A and B are shown apart, each in its own frame.
Chain A
Amino acid sequence: MSYSEREALSGLITTLIVLLLFLWRLSVQHDAGLFDSPEALQTWARSVLLLVAISIGIAIAVAISFHLGHEILTGEKPDDRRDERDHLIERRALTWAWYLLSFGILGVIVDLAFGATAFRAMNLILGLCAVSEIFKDGFKLWLYRRGA
Chain B
Amino acid sequence: MPRIENRIRRLRFDAGEMTQKDLADRVGVTRQTILAIENGKYFPTLDLAFRISRAFGVPLDDVFTFHDD
Is B39 close to A, CB under 8 A?
Answer: yes
B42 surroundings in chain A (CB, below 8 A): 85, 147-148
Is A39 close to B, CB under 8 A?
Answer: no
Given A146-B41, A148-B41, A84 contacting B48 (CB threshold 8 A)? yes
* Contact call B30/A86, Cβ cutoff below 8 A: yes
Is B35 close to A, CB under 8 A?
Answer: yes
Q: How many residues of B contact A (CB 8 A)?
A: 15
A85 surroundings in chain B (CB, below 8 A): 29-30, 32-33, 36, 42
Which residues of B18-69 are within 8 A (CB) of A? 28-33, 35-36, 39, 41-42, 44-45, 47-48
* Contact call A81/B36, Cβ cutoff below 8 A: no
A86 surroundings in chain B (CB, below 8 A): 30, 33
Chain A's closest residue to B33 (CB) is A85
Taken together as a complex, chains A and B put the C-alpha atoms of A3 and B31 apart, in Å, by 11
Given A146-B41, A147-B41, A148-B42, A83 contacting B29 (CB threshold 8 A)? yes
Q: List residues of chain A with CB under 8 Å of any chain B CB.
A: 2-5, 79, 81-86, 144, 146-148
Q: List residues of chain B with CB under 8 Å of any chain A CB.
A: 28-33, 35-36, 39, 41-42, 44-45, 47-48
Question: Which 9 pairs across A and B sit closest by C-beta, in order of nearness?
Answer: A147-B41, A83-B29, A85-B33, A147-B36, A2-B32, A2-B30, A83-B33, A84-B45, A85-B42
A85-B30, A148-B42 are known; give 15 further A-B pairs, CB within 8 A: A4-B30, A81-B28, A81-B30, A84-B29, A84-B33, A84-B44, A84-B45, A85-B32, A85-B33, A85-B42, A86-B30, A144-B32, A146-B41, A147-B39, A148-B41
